[in-house]
Structure 1
Amino acid sequence: MASASCVTRNHIDLWNERFLGEGPVPISFGIVLRGSLLPVIIWLVVLVFGCVIYGPVVAVVIGGLFVALFLAGFVFRRRSGHSIKCSFYGAVGGVLDKSMLGL
Structure 2
Amino acid sequence: MQPEHCGTRNHIEVWNERVLPPGAVQLRFRAVLRGSLLPILVWVGIACFVHFVYDPVMTAVLSGLFACSFALGFGLRRRAGHSARCSIYGALGGVLDKSMAGF
What TM bracket, shorter-length normalisation? Answer: over 0.9
SS at match of 1:18: helix
Does 1 or 2 have the higher relative contact order (CA < 8 Å, sep 6+)? 2
Unaligned runs of 5+ in 1: none
1:8-19 to 2 correspondences below 5 Å: 8-19=8-19
Of 18-27 and 73-82, the range deviating more from structure 2: 18-27
SS at match of 1:82: coil
TM-score, normalised via structure 2 length: 0.94
Q: Does 1:68 align with 2:68?
A: yes
Q: Aligned partner of 1:75: which letter?
A: G
Residue 16 (structure 1) shift? 4.6
Change (3 A) 1:16 1:97: closer
Deviations 1:20-64 (A, max 9, x none): 222211111111011011110000000010001111101100000
Matches of 1:24 and 1:10 in 2, distance apart?
Answer: 7
Residue 17 (structure 1) shift? 2.5
* Number of the residue aligned with 1:96: 96
* Number of the residue aligned with 2:81: 81
TM-score, normalised via structure 1 length: 0.94
* Number of the residue aligned with 1:46: 46
Unaligned runs of 5+ in 2: none
RMSD: 1.1
Instruction: State the identity as a percent.
Output: 53
